[in-house]
Amino acid sequence: MLLKAAMAGLGVACLPENVAAPGIEQGTLVSIMPEWSEGSITTTILTTHRRGQLPAVRSVVAFLADERDVNSPTVVV
């Protein structure tokens, strides 16, 4: 929703770089604060022992672990 609003010229959005990159490359978005960084956060997943986990919980934890990208900065467009 923020991406669509920024692409429509409705204002400024703070988006992950991988989300904004196609629009920046196409010229539909412009990075207005390339030197700015939002910083980083630490996320912790606390679960029971793997043996007692439901398969769905294991899947979500595995997905989040695989998808995290600590080097994916945010860009303001």
Q: Is residue 58 part of a domain?
A: yes
pTM exceeding the 0.75 threshold for the entire prediction: no
Flag whether 35 is in a domain: yes
CB 9 within 8 A of CB 23: no
The number of beta carbons lying within 10 Å of the beta carbon of residue 29 is 21
Whether residue 64 lies inside any domain: the answer is: yes
Domain count across the chain? 1
In a domain? residue 77:
no
As given in the structure block, the two tokens for residue 16 are 């992950």
The pLDDT profile of the chain, 77 residues, written as one tens digit per residue, is 899 999 898 999 988 888 898 999 999 999 998 888 777 767 777 877 778 788 898 888 888 877 765 555 555 54
Residue 76 in domain: no
* Parent domain of 55: 2-68
Q: Which of 67, 47, 44 is nearest to 57 (CA)?
A: 47
